[in-house]
């Protein structure tokens, strides 16, 4: 089964009044291109987080975010009453001694002084929370992988449709091949007849015509293109991670179609070749999304 590089996954978890959210997005890329935005509390685990994402996703332009939201009311900052009283007493004494006016805004003055506000408890990442974070990341990645599988099935159906179209167009060329050979033969003979008083060796002419027609023969191109169509189908069934290989096969298909077009030498056949190129171009565009 094919996997698409396009995907999206999101997961959330609740722990002690905190909502933990992991979100991961993926687009096509030649290699793994992983960018992360991680909440400060979890940055110490960034290497572990990157490994958890890079392992299963393998390839693509990955955008990962991990953040938290506090659902419970945060604890209020504690005012250091002793420090406030001590500062006020000192300021009053200084004002009495120096004659300076007392502050009009006592609170504004006092709370700007050191140690009047006690620092909130510093958050640390414990084992329980880290386990929940790991589970949340794994769930988000699993959702993205499910999305990739779904998109991969759609791509496989699209490729199968286009391959069938190319095979049908290839078969549609055959009736024109015999007709084309006869047209070439008649055009050469008529050209010779149009030249007055010309004599030619009919045996030699026949040999030259056979040589000329053989140069325009497309049986080998048709055979190779048929082989490429079959190989493309087999590769799709080989499992994920075949995107680059499918791209190479599509290039070889294009080579055979182009050679067929250059040898066609007939409007009807060239029209069919143009339609084959259109079908192949759609394959090439979509194969860039395959893992």
Find out whether 82 and 71 touch, Cβ atoms under 8 Å. Answer: no
Q: Which two structure tokens, joined as six digits, stand for 146?
A: 């499910």
**Sign of the four-CA dihedral 43, 44, 50, 55:** negative
All structural domains of the chain, each given as residue ranges with its CATH number in brackets, are 7-73+127-148 (3.30.230), 78-118 (no CATH), 150-287 (no CATH)
Q: Strand, helix or coil at 111?
A: coil
The token pair at 18 is 């905190």
Q: Mind listing the pLDDT tens digit for each residue in 192-221?
A: 677 776 666 667 666 666 666 667 778 889
Its pTM stands at 0.70
Give yes or no for a contact between 10 and 23, defined as CB atoms under 8 angstroms apart: yes
pLDDT value at residue 21:
95
pLDDT at site 112: 80
Tell me phi and psi for residue 14, to 5 degrees: -115, 135
Q: Are 158 and 288 in contact (CB under 8 A)?
A: no
* Residue that is written with structure tokens 């395959």 in the block: 290
pLDDT per position as a tens digit, 111-166: 888 888 775 556 788 889 999 999 999 999 999 999 999 999 999 999 999 999 99
């Amino acid at each position: 089964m094919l996997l698409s590089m396009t995907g999206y996954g999101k997961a959330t978890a609740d722990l002690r009044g905190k909502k933990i959210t992991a979100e991961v997005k993926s687009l096509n890329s030649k290699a793994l291109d992983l960018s992360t935005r991680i909440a400060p509390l979890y940055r110490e685990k960034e290497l572990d987080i990157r490994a958890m994402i890079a392992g299963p996703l393998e390839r693509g332009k990955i955008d990962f975010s991990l953040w938290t939201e506090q659902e419970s009311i945060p604890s209020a900052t504690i005012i250091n009453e002793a420090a406030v009283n001590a500062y006020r007493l000192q300021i009053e004494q200084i004002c009495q001694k120096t004659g300076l006016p007392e502050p009009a805004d006592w609170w504004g003055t006092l709370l700007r002084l050191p140690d009047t506000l006690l620092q909130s408890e510093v958050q640390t990442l414990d084992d329980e929370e880290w386990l929940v974070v790991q589970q949340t990341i794994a769930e988000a990645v699993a959702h993205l992988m499910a999305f990739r599988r779904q998109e991969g099935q759609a791509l496989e159906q699209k490729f199968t449709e286009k391959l069938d179209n190319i095979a049908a167009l290839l078969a549609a060329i055959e009736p024109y091949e015999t007709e084309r050979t006869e047209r070439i033969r008649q055009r050469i003979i008529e050209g010779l007849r149009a030249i007055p008083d010309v004599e030619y060796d009919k045996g030699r002419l026949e040999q030259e015509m056979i040589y000329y027609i053989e140069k325009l023969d497309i049986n080998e191109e048709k055979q190779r293109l048929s082989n490429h169509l079959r190989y493309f189908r087999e590769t799709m069934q080989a499992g994920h991670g075949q995107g680059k290989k499918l791209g190479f096969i599509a290039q070889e298909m294009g080579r055979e179609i182009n050679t067929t077009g250059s040898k066609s030498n007939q409007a009807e056949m060239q029209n069919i070749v143009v339609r084959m190129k259109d079908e192949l171009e759609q394959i090439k565009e979509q194969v860039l999304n395959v893992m």
